[in-house]
Amino acid sequence: MSLVLITGLSGSGKSTVAKCFEDLGYYCVDNLPLELLAQLLEDPFRFSGTDRGVAVVTDVRAPGFAEQLPRILTRESVAAHEPVVLFLEADDETLVRRFSETRRSHPIGDTGSLIESIRRERELLSELRGIADRVFDSSEWTIHEIRQQVRREFASQDEDELGPKVTLMSFGFKYGIPYGTDLLFDVRFLPNPHFQDDLRELTGLDEPVLAFLEVEEEYRELVERLHEFLAYLLPRYATEQRSYVSVGVGCTGGRHRSVAVTEELSKRLERAGWTLRVSHRDIAR
């Protein structure tokens, strides 16, 4: 497990970076008083409930931060965990623009103008920046680029290759489209097992329904084309550091066609190594 201390200038993107660590499975803590922070750093994994790591965000919001944190890090009980200090910064123009956009006051805004507060904070944190193990300048980075940098520096090779978690959901259009779906496929053009008396009470998980659909060339071609499409898209979502992708497959009632297509897609994507969650929202209706 690893311990990462995220710090730096106000407005440089510490909260965004913390969310990136959460996506990597880290237990994240933000803005503890220094006394509690010191206790946490001495035994960071005791209460984290994770076997991945702990990321702690701290900055000038904590009184005495600039003077005390370097001394806390040199304590033997803290240094034993080999904390990685990640320092974030940005140029003055970028920080001024970000504070103007959010309309938030600077944590040490009692020094005068915004630019004076930014420069004062930069001066206060100069010692901490000097001992940092990593320095990220987020001036020109988008949120996606920040995510890429965090994964590049802190994700294991296996984690970096996994890509987004994929949710495949079958549903019935008569009950509404699932909220938050990234990709939506309508398979109502396929022959409907509902109109076969011996298949009506079965579902797309049952062999007779699958046999009914698999003799149809349209079904086989649809599954093949959807798989090819997802095989093309998912690696590109991974490149953009997407954590989750939700795919909805819908038919009229959500019992037969959409279930069968979803199951077949899940088998193919699992064989390709994607992390999947499969659900059939309306199969019991």
Position 160, amino acid: D
Per-residue b or e along 208-222, where b marks 16 or more CB atoms closer than 10 Å to that residue's CB: ebbebbeeeeebeeb
Least trusted range by pLDDT, from 9-18, 84-93, 110-119, 152-161 = 152-161
Which one, of 127, 104, 124, 136, lies nearest residue 60 by Cα? Answer: 124
Across all residues in the chain, what is the average pLDDT?
A: 90
Q: What is the pLDDT of residues 73-93, one digit of tens each?
A: 999 988 888 999 999 999 999
- DSSP class of residue 132 equals -
Residue corresponding to tokens 């939700």:
246
Q: What is the pLDDT of residue 220?
A: 96
Q: Is the per-residue pLDDT at 31 higher than 90?
A: no
* pLDDT for 180: 85
Domain ranges of the chain: 2-160, 163-280
pTM for the full predicted model: 0.64
Query: Which residue in this structure is represented by tokens 């690893």?
Result: 2
Could you tell me the pLDDT band of residue 260, with boundaries at 50, 70 and 90? very high
What pLDDT, in 10s, does the model give residues 199-218? 999 999 999 999 999 999 99
Label residue 225 by pLDDT band (50, 70, 90): very high
173 pLDDT above the threshold of 90: yes
> Domain 2-160 is in which class?
alpha beta
More confident residue, 116 or 240: 116
Per-residue pLDDT tens over the stretch 135-164: 999 999 988 888 888 988 888 655 545 568
DSSP string, 229-252: HHHHHHHHHHHTT-SEEEEEEEES
